[in-house]
Copies of this chain bind each other. A is one copy, B any other.
C-alpha cells in the first residue's frame, strides 16, 4: 500500500464529494416537484442519502481498497491499513427536505482513527470547504480562497450557531440558555454548515449535542485548519461525537466551556 500525502488524500476526498453531489442533486427539491409528499411511497432524502454513500463507497473500493469506511447508511468496513473514510452522505437531512442549501456532504480521511483531512461540501451552491488541520480553504465557482476563523475572544461579541434550540434537554438546555443570554447573536438551522462558517470567520461559536462520529469527523480538520478549536463539552477530543463545541479562539472556547461543563456528559 503506497503512502498517500495529505494533498493526495484531499484530492481523493474531492473526487468523493463530486460523486456524492452527482448522486444527490437529481433528488434535491424533487419530491416536492412531483407533488407526492403525502403519498409516502417515495422518500427523496433517503434515496439521495443511499445513492450518495454508495457512490463514494464504490470509488473507495476501486481506488483505496485497503481503507476502512464508516458511513451513516451502510455497514462499517474495517480498515486493513490504518486508514479510513468517515462519510455522512447528507448531513442536515431536515434542511434537505425543506429545500434549504444548508445540508452538506461530509467526508473525513482518518489515520489510526483520527481525522486528518476533511471536506464539507454543498453540491447545489457549489461551495466546498476543506482543511487538513494546518490549512483550510473554500472553493466556490472555481475560485479557491484560504479561510480563517475570526479573532473574536469575548462572549458578548460572539455569534453562535446551533441547529435547533429544542434539541437540548434538561441540564443541557439550562447551560445552553445561559450561554445564549451572554452572546451577541445566535443563529439556528445550519447543521455542519455552521462549522464551515466558523472556519470561514462568520460564526464564532458552535454548540451542539447528540452528534455521531460521522457528523463531526470531517469538521475537525476544517475547523482546526482554519485556526479554530473543536472539542467536547469537557475540552476532550470531539471525534467520537456527542456534545461538541467549536470556537474561533482559545479565549472564546474557554469562556464557553466554563458555562457548558456542568452539563458535560461523563464518558
List chain A positions with a Cβ less than 8 A from chain B.
29, 32-33, 35, 37-38, 94-95, 97-102, 124-125, 127, 145, 148, 150-153, 157, 159, 161, 164-166, 180, 185-190, 193, 197, 200-203
Contact = CB atoms under 8 A, between A and B. Distances in A.
Contacts of A38: 151-153, 157
* Minimum-distance CB pairs A-B, first 9: A99-B202, A32-B201, A188-B188, A189-B189, A125-B125, A188-B189, A99-B197, A98-B202, A98-B187
5 contacts: A32-B200, A37-B201, A98-B159, A102-B102, A166-B186
A207 B152 CA distance: 33
B164 A100 contact: no
A48 to B, nearest CB: 14
A203 B189 CA distance: 14
Contact of A161 (B98, B124, B165, B201): B98
A185 B94 CA distance: 8
B202 A35 contact: no
Contact of A200 (B99, B187, B190): B99
A43 to B, nearest CB: 13
A94 B187 contact: yes
